[in-house]
Amino acid sequence: MLRVGDLDRSLAFYCDVLGMKLLRKHEYPSGEFTLAFVGYGEESENAVLELTYNWGRVSYTLGDAFGHVALGVDDIYATCEAIRAKGGKITREPGPMKHGSTVIAFVEDPDGYKVELIQTKR
């Protein structure tokens, strides 16, 4: 779960830039928050990301216990180019990780959360 400062902006990033789908969204007026679940497929068969918008809260301090969300991709170079073309911010270009051979890249969502892209084995 990630707390977001602007749900529409975050949905645009995760859905339009990263290609996820909005699976469900529900407002909780008594608690003054909205939950939106995004992912690449149905929740019964895939992991999903919960975005929580607390009404009236526009920003958060990112905690030092949180690292990043990681996504496996088939073609990391093409994925980064597509993200860049859609206005996404690449913070680490694709290349081998520091102490290994796995090819990774990082992008940043509108709230500053890092999303690691990992080249899947072919």
Strand spans (E) along the chain: 2-3, 21-28, 33-39, 48-54, 69-73, 89-96, 103-108, 114-119
What is the dotted CATH code of the domain comprising 69-119?
A: 3.10.180.10
Domains of the chain, residue spans: 2-54, 69-119
- Do the two domains 2-54 and 69-119 of this chain adopt the same fold? yes
* CATH class for the region spanning 2-54: alpha beta
Among the listed residues 27, 50, 108, 116, the single catalytic one is: 116
What is the rounded average pLDDT for all residues in the chain?
93
Most confident of 11-25, 46-60, 93-107: 11-25
50 has catalytic annotation: no
Q: What is the pLDDT of residues 38-77, one digit of tens each?
A: 999 998 898 899 999 999 999 888 887 688 899 999 999 9
Q: What is the pTM of this model?
A: 0.81
Burial annotation 38-53 (CB, 10 A radius, 16+ → b, else e): bbbeeeeeeebbebbb
